[in-house]
Amino acid sequence: MTFLAPLFFVGLAALAIPVLIHLIQRERKTIVAFPSLMFLRRIPYQSVRRRKVRNWLLLAMRAAAVLMIVAAFARPFLRQGALASAAAGGAREVVILLDQSASMGYGDHWQRARDAARQAIDTLGADDRGTLVLFASNAEENVRATPDRMRLKAAVDASRVSSGATRYGPALKLAQSILIRSPLKRREAILISDFQKTGWSGAAGGDEMHFPPGTVLTPKSVASADFSNVAVPSVTFARASFSGQERLTITAGVTNRGAAAISSLPVTLELDGHTIESRPVSVAPNASASLTFTQFTLADPNVKGTVRAGSDPLPQDNAFRFVLTPGRSVPVLVIDQRGDRSDPSLYLSRALGIGTAPAFRADLIPAAQTTVAQLDTHSVVVLNDVAFPPALSNGALRRFLERGGGLLVVLGEHSTWPASEAALLPGALGAMVDPPGGRSGSLGFLDYSHPIFEVFKAPRSGDFSGAHIFRYRALDASVPGADARVLARFDDGGVAAAEKRIGTGRVIAWTSTLDDSWTDLPLKPVFLPLTHQIVRYLARYEEPAAWYTVGQALDVSERAAGQGDRVALTPSGQRIALGGPGAPRFVELGEQGFYEIRAIGGRAEKPAYAVAVNLDPAESDLTPMDPRELVAAAIGHAAPDAGQPAASTVTPEDAERRQGIWWYLLLAGGLLLAAETILSNRLSRTTAQV
């Protein structure tokens, strides 16, 4: 119970009056008639008996009456319970949205958030229903609509900070859905969060809300006015080869999201739990810096690495984890026709020899020496201006493509294809074409949406207009059955590059040469990255991910294929069975740390590979937003200023006026005084008669 004017309780001093009345001893004496009193001296009557309370019932009635009258003037009212609900207009549907994203682990934010959730639960009346929603990047109903406050508080106590990123959209949409379905007229949502600015994208990001009319959305912020945070958002690797061994250099980025500069912050590199090197770094306020560790040799696969930078109130983002694996090369079989040309694949082989991420291993074989067995040891085959090798006929090359191989066909004057294998080309091969007027042609169209040209999409990332084309082979990609995608065209409209899928394999045809006989493209800066992109694409090469971000899914169906039953161990020690019918293909990476995928063989579990998972870098930015902006977007109108109640919120004055408890107390006090008067008179007459 709360009182609107608690200073009136000073009047409780009046409780001393009934006590004093009961402690005053009344004179009791027998009246004796005497004819004349003029010669007698008046002597006051004194009682020598000890004063004490003789009628406790009268004292209690008088004291209770005074207490009720004083309490009535103090204007009491109930903030919660059935009376409060009735005074405010009926039972409520309350949704408590508790942010458990990683940023809530900063300092005492999480403890303050849980305290705010418990206070919100305490406001629930007997007829109210409460729902607890825990949210980070996703939202879920932890406890569905219930009047059981103890159950709701137990769920709050059991909740923990997660590794997820902050996203307000899913939480507000879930609250909207719950409130729309509610049969109760009064609907309220209480959002408890640090109101991280990066978690709200607004209507432009698809977070537009449509709460039911009259919904009250109350924000409760636990953000700190002053905060500082150091984070390691990413690392980069540089690979090199020395004496036949792979050497690796790690560079770590360190971010200071505070107003004070940081000097000599220790940054440590750990590999498989052992400290390799520790170096200091200085970072300016609200800035970033990088630190490069000493180069080391990487010999073992699946090495777990961690970079740590100091400590602060948010320790979750002070460590960045990754997994290192030795680089693997892409084997490329280059088939050419030497004949009158000494080295027709010179430019191609030199370009492939420079590649490091990945490294390419180019094996140059004359067409006459090609065998089917060579296809089994290579990922990509290049037919470099050569007649179709007889060894690859009779479906051998088609089978190579169907099982996922890649084929690059360089169409020059020596390129010939038998009719039985013509279906492998992305079009019908035609004659040689010379640009009219003796001039050179150029590339007029590039499909920048395709992976091989996507890296050249940005400005100043590669200029193809300077390459001159002196001759090319016609390729009709529109013939029936070609199923081709044109990737590039010359300025006269001729096809420069086209792609076709054969099974799971890929075929790309380039209609000019890759030497300087028909074009000067190999002499241009774009030739090297273009060659690498084409071979990477045909080989379906993907750099092994050194780390993932919380919330991503890991495909476990192929990475340990053929190893029988497997189990995934999460950073918290949970085991997820991956073998057997109905086993999941993907594992959701919901925790920060290292996941391990192990193959179960016999009695022992054999390690297969590890996966590093880190926080979303946006969680390190603790800059808060104005909660009123979010409230305005959710309920359709501007939120009131801080300290001002919302239009539909019952103020203490309104609650006290509607309840009118003071009137009942005043009436009860008056009735007690009347009853005390009647009882006191009766007791006085009885005593006088005695």
Q: For 316, left (φ over 0), alpha (ψ -120 to 50), or beta?
A: alpha
Report pLDDT for 603: 47
Residue 631: its H or E element: helix 627-635
Q: Which of 240, 185, 250, 231 is nearest to 212 (CA)?
A: 185
Our CA angle for 97, 103, 108, nearest 5°, is 85
Q: Are 441 and 469 in contact (CB under 8 A)?
A: yes
Q: Are 296 and 248 in contact (CB under 8 A)?
A: yes
Enter the tokens of residue 226. 């002053």
CA separation for the pair 425, 2 (Å, rounded): 85
Report pLDDT for 666: 80
82-226+622-655 and 330-539: identical CATH topology: yes
Report pLDDT for 36: 60
Report pLDDT for 341: 59
CA separation for the pair 253, 620 (Å, rounded): 13
CA separation for the pair 338, 368 (Å, rounded): 10
Report pLDDT for 396: 94
Domain boundaries, the chain: 2-74+660-689, 82-226+622-655, 230-324, 330-539, 548-617
CA separation for the pair 31, 688 (Å, rounded): 12
Helix (H), strand (E), coil (C) string for 564-576: CCEEEECCCCCEE
CA separation for the pair 320, 305 (Å, rounded): 8
Neighbours of 463 (CB within 10 A): 11
Q: In which residue are the tokens 């934010």 written?
A: 109
What are the start-end ranges of the E strands in 370-526?
Answer: 380-384, 406-410, 428-433, 443-446, 472-476, 485-490, 495-502, 505-510
Q: Characterize the bridge pairing of strands 92-99 and 129-135.
A: parallel
Which CATH code is given to the segment(s) 230-324?
A: 2.60.40.10
Alpha carbons within 13 A on the beta-carbon side of 252: 29
CA separation for the pair 352, 348 (Å, rounded): 6
CA separation for the pair 459, 275 (Å, rounded): 42
DSSP class of 439: -
What are the start-end ranges of the E strands in 414-478?
Answer: 428-433, 443-446, 472-476
**Alpha-helical runs (H) found in 552-600:** none
- Walking along the chain (690 residues) 10 residues at a time, the average pLDDT comes out as 70 67 56 60 56 69 80 72 52 95 96 96 90 95 93 96 94 93 91 94 60 88 92 91 80 94 95 94 94 89 92 94 87 84 85 84 91 94 94 93 95 91 93 86 94 90 90 92 91 94 95 93 94 95 89 76 71 84 81 88 61 95 91 69 44 62 80 81 66
Architecture of the domain defined by 548-617: Sandwich (2.60)
Report pLDDT for 82: 45
Burial class (CB in 10 A: 0-12, 13-18, 19+), 468: middle
Q: Are 499 and 487 in contact (CB under 8 A)?
A: yes
Q: Which residues contact 226 (CB under 8 A, 6 or more apart)?
A: 259
User: Class assignment of domain 330-539?
Assistant: alpha beta
Q: What is the dihedral of CA 384, 385, 388, 392, to 10 degrees?
A: 0
User: How many Å is the Cα radius of gyration of the chain?
Assistant: 42
Q: Is 233 helix (H, G, I), strand (E, B) or coil?
A: strand
Residue 380's DSSP bridge partners are 332, 406
CATH 1.10.3720.10 fits 82-226+622-655, yes or no: no
Report pLDDT for 630: 86
Burial class (CB in 10 A: 0-12, 13-18, 19+), 619: buried
Report pLDDT for 657: 63
CA separation for the pair 179, 211 (Å, rounded): 8
Dihedral angle sign, alpha carbons of residues 195, 197, 200, 203: positive
